[in-house]
A and B are shown apart, each in its own frame.
Chain A
């Protein structure tokens, strides 16, 4: 089928340079790495999950959030590469080919997700010697949820890049404006509860879809499936993915005749 073939072509193109320079993977992993190394050990006994420093429960609470942070920081910048190609002429040359427009978006997004999953697995492997307990089925489900979330954020980033083709600054401005609030309001670093946060901040965090993804990841990586937080997280991630893919495809189609 043409769409599948074209998706493979677009995906293979994007993956090529990554495979040649696997060290590039580490750069977009830097933020979660720094937090895991320099912040996680500070989580005290009075900390979020009630566990002591470096105990299994504090890792258990912190790591899933870091995976969401990874998904955000790694895929939110995905549009930057497309933006560069829009200005260099490489994207224009693709648009003149009969390559399917949906495939152009899906292929690029898939590459972002493959990179994300590789990075997430790398983090999990590196954490095995710590007190972090891996529940295989839960972790698998958690990574699946992370994939859906990554597809959404990556596709939204492409949509934003396509929308910013007349002024590059728009992309970076909007991306930064959304990225940090989304991150800080998701309770990745510290829990945002009714008791600990001012009401307005708590309300904002409940509006943030990333909050639900973080909570669902925490449940799943703890091996708990039958919780409403899992359902809400799945719904939030799916909504972002549907919105992102829809906006991205629209952007690709509008980029030419």
Chain B
């Protein structure tokens, strides 16, 4: 569905050239749900804007839904739906007006635009609001309308740029229910960016971790967490001597990423904490080391990012990272 080779984009900002995206090589097959995850300024939005024909790449190629973004942008546009970070529907317009206009923009007949609009209004629980002006809708309603508008032409591929940012938890869950039903019923390929880690974790089958304009990891959330971060076991011991012996015993476990001691506390990173912890406890007891507390923490995608870059996703990219410009976020 998406194939890119060496896709790059640089911006001129304050006399400096900033490489927002550096050599993106993507192969995304039809029917997948893919998340782009990374800190602000990592190049997620710039990548999406290139794939949706909004921004010409500086170099490289991108074939989206079977059409080249540079040589056949219209062919791409006919086949993709796009939800930007802003508000798709103009605030002075009526809900039904904007939906029908959108259908017409994709070349649907007036009658067809109208029936599609009606169906989408029902599907997104917006019926009853058709004559309302967009500016008077709530944040959640407005976002549902924006997604409905991205779907009037029944695209096989849907891009969502931070679909739920700024919404309350209830509205966020609501948006995902709609999007996933779409994926299930029509097999729509979905590519999204988010800065809610749990959304990438819960809904994406493939997560691409983006940093400094590059994809630095690409796998299912489960594999990323197991392979790169692993579970974290934290043991509390009575004294330093016990802690040191616990470190040795922990290092002897079959697959362990990292073992560190901090005073009487021992921290262990391992891909299978749930099976390792009982073994470790038995071994400690056999060696006469008393563990006072034992805690198992499952990893998050933030831990994945931390182990890849040494930074958390919450931090801004460091000084060397591309600065966030209006179109380079």
Nearest residue in B to A6 (C-beta to C-beta)?
B105
Report if A23 contacts B (CB, 8 A).
Answer: no
Q: CA–CA, A16 to B91, complex, Å?
A: 13
* Contact digits for A123-167, partner B, Cβ 8 Å, 1 yes 0 no: 000000000000000000000000000000000000000000010
Set of chain B residues within 8 Å of A93, measured between Cβ atoms: 82, 84, 88-89, 102, 146, 149-150
Report if A96 contacts B (CB, 8 A).
Answer: yes
B86 and A89 contacting across the interface, CB-CB below 8 Å: yes
User: Which of B88, B93, B105 lies at the interface centre, i.e. has the most chain A CB atoms within 10 A of its CB?
Assistant: B105
Q: Which of the segments B28-36, B66-74, B229-237, B245-253 contacts the partner chain?
A: B66-74
Chain A residues packing against B (C-beta within 8 Å): 2, 5-6, 9, 12-13, 16-17, 20, 85, 87-90, 92-99, 166, 256-257
Report if B97 contacts A (CB, 8 A).
Answer: yes
Report if B60 contacts A (CB, 8 A).
Answer: no
Report if B107 contacts A (CB, 8 A).
Answer: yes
Report if B216 contacts A (CB, 8 A).
Answer: no
Set of chain A residues within 8 Å of B56, measured between Cβ atoms: 257
In the assembled complex, the CB of A104 is this many whole angstroms from the nearest CB of chain B, namely 9
- From B54, B93, B97, B101, give the contact of A92 (CB < 8 A): B54
Chain B residues packing against A (C-beta within 8 Å): 52-56, 69-70, 73-74, 77-78, 80, 82, 84-94, 97-98, 101-102, 104-107, 146, 149-150, 326
A13 and B86 contacting across the interface, CB-CB below 8 Å: no
Q: CA–CA, A256 to B56, complex, Å?
A: 7
Please name 20 pairs of A and B residues whose Cβ atoms are closer than 8 Å in the assembled complex, sorted by A: A5-B107, A6-B105, A9-B101, A9-B104, A9-B105, A13-B98, A16-B93, A16-B94, A17-B93, A85-B90, A88-B91, A89-B88, A90-B86, A93-B102, A93-B149, A96-B84, A98-B74, A98-B78, A166-B326, A256-B55
B105 and A92 contacting across the interface, CB-CB below 8 Å: no
Set of chain A residues within 8 Å of B85, measured between Cβ atoms: 89
Set of chain A residues within 8 Å of B77, measured between Cβ atoms: 96-98
Set of chain B residues within 8 Å of A95, measured between Cβ atoms: 53-54
Excluding A13-B98, A13-B101, 20 further A-B contacts by CB distance (< 8 Å) are A5-B107, A6-B105, A12-B104, A13-B93, A17-B92, A88-B87, A89-B84, A89-B88, A90-B88, A92-B88, A93-B82, A93-B84, A94-B105, A96-B52, A96-B53, A96-B80, A96-B82, A166-B326, A257-B53, A257-B70
Q: CA–CA, A20 to B134, complex, Å?
A: 14
Set of chain B residues within 8 Å of A257, measured between Cβ atoms: 53-56, 69-70, 73
Q: CA–CA, A143 to B59, complex, Å?
A: 50
In the assembled complex, the CB of B132 is this many whole angstroms from the nearest CB of chain A, namely 12
In the assembled complex, the CB of B284 is this many whole angstroms from the nearest CB of chain A, namely 57
Nearest residue in A to B149 (C-beta to C-beta)?
A93
Q: Given that A96-B52, A96-B80 are contacting pairs, would A89 and B87 also be in contact in the complex, using a CB cutoff of 8 Å?
A: yes
A97 and B106 contacting across the interface, CB-CB below 8 Å: yes
User: Which of B78, B82, B86, B94 lies at the interface centre, i.e. has the most chain A CB atoms within 10 A of its CB?
Assistant: B86
Set of chain B residues within 8 Å of A166, measured between Cβ atoms: 326
A99 and B87 contacting across the interface, CB-CB below 8 Å: no
Q: CA–CA, A166 to B326, complex, Å?
A: 7
Set of chain B residues within 8 Å of A92, measured between Cβ atoms: 54, 84, 86, 88
- From B87, B106, B150, give the contact of A98 (CB < 8 A): B106
Q: CA–CA, A234 to B92, complex, Å?
A: 36
Q: CA–CA, A93 to B70, complex, Å?
A: 18
Closest 3 CB pairs of A and B: A89-B86, A93-B88, A97-B105
Set of chain A residues within 8 Å of B106, measured between Cβ atoms: 97-98
Nearest residue in B to A8 (C-beta to C-beta)?
B104
A97 and B87 contacting across the interface, CB-CB below 8 Å: no
Set of chain B residues within 8 Å of A6, measured between Cβ atoms: 105
Nearest residue in B to A95 (C-beta to C-beta)?
B54
Set of chain A residues within 8 Å of B149, measured between Cβ atoms: 93
Set of chain A residues within 8 Å of B86, measured between Cβ atoms: 87-90, 92
